[in-house]
Amino acid sequence: MSLAVLKSRALAGMEAQEVSVEIHLANGLPAFTIVGLADTEVKEARDRVRAAIINSGFSFPAQRITVNLAPADLPKESGRFDLPIALGILAASGQIPTRQLAEYEFAGELSLSGALRPIRGTLAMAVASRRYGGLCGLILPIDNADEAALVQDAAIYPAGSLLQTCRHFTSTGSEGKLMRHPSPSLRQLRHYPDFADVKGQLAVKRGLEIAAAGQHSVLLVGPPGAGKTMLALRFPGLLPAMNDAEALEAAAMLSLTGQFRLDLWKQRPFRAPHHTASGVALVGGGSLPRPGEISLAHHGVLFLDELPEFEQRVLDVLREPLESGHITISRAARQADFPARFQLVAAMNPCPCGYAGHSSARCHCTAEQVARYQRRISGPLLDRIDIQLEVAAVDPLALADRTGGESSSTIAARVQLAADRQWQRQGKPNQALLPRELEQHCKLDGPSHVLLQRSMARFQWSGRAYHRILRIARTIADLAASPQLHEAHVKEAVQYQRALRQRDLPC
């Protein structure tokens, strides 16, 4: 038989679309051609496949070999097609049988010796194979087996080499057959620094507890050394436990870039890009779009330290994803959608020198310098940050206190109870409530309505701020196990909007 057809998958955003790997052998001068919108990595498979076939003990056909990766308009990248191409050549030349090839999908990069090397995106491939491939098995490198087997009921068959894969199709008995990989045993441990390490800062801890319970974004404002970064690093330990669907989505995003490890299962992602990061690094991009930091932080935390040091145009790319929870990357030839439901935690100094309002009176910045520094964060972006917390310098007596504060586990238990109330009531966290849902779940009594109206008029807040305060007040009420919103809940929510007082100065 001079024609063989195998199935594989190409990554296109979060989707892993099916690819038919068609191999045809014809008489003529020996040649090896790969067509089907293949990039450089795929075209280099010619040399890897030739060496792998020869070093595995097979004969490489001295014929005209044409490999077509269909559909032709879908870009193909990486070395994931090495294994199906090599198997197709062996099947088309009659060196292995073809009767069972249609029952499997294949992916794996070949070394020159014929060993299979790991590839990225196998979790997305396993999800797509289970969803669209039906009962097809998925033959992958051994190093990717645990990751792909996280998908429930996925039929994963790990192989260590091209030769081992070929034996699976040539063996008549059970000996030499690839064994289906079982689901990995997972230890769902939460490896986060403890909040008990943070001395003092009771008001800030309370604000972060509210943010964790309702999945609200946070801005920490304070002088150097006050503990902003220390608090942010411990924040993921307060978040509610991930369910299986959230864990699978977060793991699939990391898998697309080859960063997923099994010990990260059900761990909230924590991404902290440097302030020199570009807009593409944050939201994703490239000729073949790949996820950025906001997508890699999906269902986790995106921490931006020294927020005003980021370029303003870079920060402004966060505005739409903060509200929509996803990002669409459009290029001339491709468009990709990535989820980006992250929780933003940002930190900044109150002024250029960092000591505005400090008890030492070391700050000599003028009001204009302070206002200019704070205006590096655009109004529309600041309006999308739910909670602003002022992190004051810690008193030396509090630093010397050895008793410590509440542990992360104690706070996280309260957060989990509040989160459970939200899911039982509305099926989503408070931060995701739509305006119509706010009318249903955030009804105000008389005093709290008057308080909120006065605050809106005094500080000239936007309609988005009005909804934001209702969401925060609803979270505060959930932490207090109160089914109704009261004046105290609204009053506390209003207090979390005033950390950047200097923004009220005239320009």
Closest to 444 (Cα-Cα) out of 408, 413, 471: 471
pLDDT tens digits along 289-298 = 889 999 999 9
Domains 3-170 and 195-504 share a fold: no
| Helix (H), strand (E) counts: the chain | 21, 18
* In contact, 339 and 379? CB cutoff 8 Å: no
* In contact, 141 and 106? CB cutoff 8 Å: no
As beta bridge partners, residue 65 has 25, 32
Neighbours of 203 (CB within 10 A): 14
82: its two tokens: 């090495």
Distances (CA, A) of 279 to 150, 284, 312, 317, 426: 32, 8, 10, 7, 34
360: its two tokens: 């030492």
pLDDT tens digits along 109-129 = 999 999 999 999 999 899 888
Average pLDDT of every residue of the chain:
89
CA atoms of 144 and 118, how far apart (whole Å) = 6
Burial 383-392 (b: 16+ CB within 10 A, else e): ebbbbbbbbb
pLDDT tens digits along 321-337 = 998 899 988 877 678 88
Burial of 252: CB neighbours in 10 Å, binned 0-12, 13-18, 19+:
buried
pLDDT above 70 for 503: no
Q: Residues 195-504: name the CATH superfamily.
A: P-loop containing nucleotide triphosphate hydrolases (3.40.50.300)
Burial 153-180 (b: 16+ CB within 10 A, else e): ebbbbbbebbbbbbbbbeeeeeeeebee
pLDDT above 70 for 54: yes
**pTM for the full model?**
0.88
Domains in the chain: boundaries: 3-170, 195-504
Which class would CATH give 3-170?
alpha beta
pLDDT tens digits along 125-153 = 998 888 876 668 999 999 999 999 998 88
pLDDT tens digits along 26-40 = 998 999 999 999 988
